[in-house]
Structure 1
Amino acid sequence: MDDSKLKHILVVDDEEAVGYVFERYLSIKGYRVSVAYSGEQALDAFRADAPDVVITDYKMPGMNGDELLRRLRALQPGLPAVMISANPIEVGPTLEQVRFFPKPVSLEILVEHLETML
């Protein structure tokens, strides 16, 4: 299939191993995946090739996932998003229409939710 017709997911996590696992799994499931390792990298990636959905870790150095999603939604209101955190209490309330999953997340369940979001 032509990659340009695949749904595009931007994964943002400061841990390279996590980004790699998400990229591999989601690619196998038929998505086009970009990975960024910081909020700033994610903003650059978004501007270069806007995704259909963003999956972001909450706790990252510099810019946390909530701030990143606020900045991305300023560029594209209503952007579908998933936030993931190892410490859900730290996250607090999230933006509207952001699905939240605690770590470790089941990638199978995550894909089920992505299919309803896209």
Structure 2
Amino acid sequence: MTEPRHILLVDDEAIAIMALEHGLMDEGFRVTTAFNGQEALGLWRGDRFDALVTDLRMPVMAGDELIRNVRSDKPGLPVVVVSGYATGEISEGLKVNFPAPIAIMPKPVRVEEVSGALKRMLSWDVGA
């Protein structure tokens, strides 16, 4: 049996992070959570992750700065941005600054949407 894909989930909203964490675990992912980019970066340096799911606006370190940092270590890392600020202009800017694989989703988001994007980017066999 293959090991579950390890997701680094970052959001400063406790309710949002708990809902996504439990939903992604139910979908078969292993999930580690952080409440800001700086905390996430510390976790990143101490473990191995297959993908990043992050909010944009957070205290201490914003999501775009976190993406820049982790992508400097692992350029092809799949990223899902889940944000209430993921408007058209911001989404386009993210796509320009951070090449694929990246998915940008406005809050509120359904776990199935995030899970589906992760599975596509990780080339996960959904039937597995």
Do both share a fold (TM > 0.5)?
A: yes
**1:29 maps to which residue?**
27
Unaligned 5+ segments in structure 1 are none
**2:99 maps to which residue?**
96
Deviation at 1:88, TM superposition (A): 2.1
**2:18 maps to which residue?**
20
Query: TM-score normalized by structure 2?
Result: 0.84
Identity of aligned residues (%): 40
Whole-angstrom CA distance in 2 between matches of 1:18 and 1:106: 10
Secondary structure of 1:88's counterpart equals: coil
2:63 corresponds to which letter in structure 1? G
Cα RMSD, aligned residues only:
1.6
Whole-angstrom CA distance in 1 between matches of 2:86 and 2:52: 18
52, 70, 73: which one aligns with 1:75:
73
Query: TM-score normalized by structure 1?
Result: 0.90
User: 1:61-72 maps to which residues of 2 (within 5 A)?
Assistant: 61-72=59-70
Unaligned 5+ segments in structure 2 are 123-128
Deviation at 1:76, TM superposition (A): 1.3
Whether the aligned pair in 2 keeps the contact of 1:58 and 1:91 (CA below 8 Å) is no
Whether the aligned pair in 2 keeps the contact of 1:85 and 1:91 (CA below 8 Å) is no
CA offsets 1:85-108 (integer angstroms, 9 cap, x no match): 112237351111121000011211
Count of residue correspondences: 116
1:31 corresponds to which letter in structure 2? F
2:57 corresponds to which letter in structure 1? K
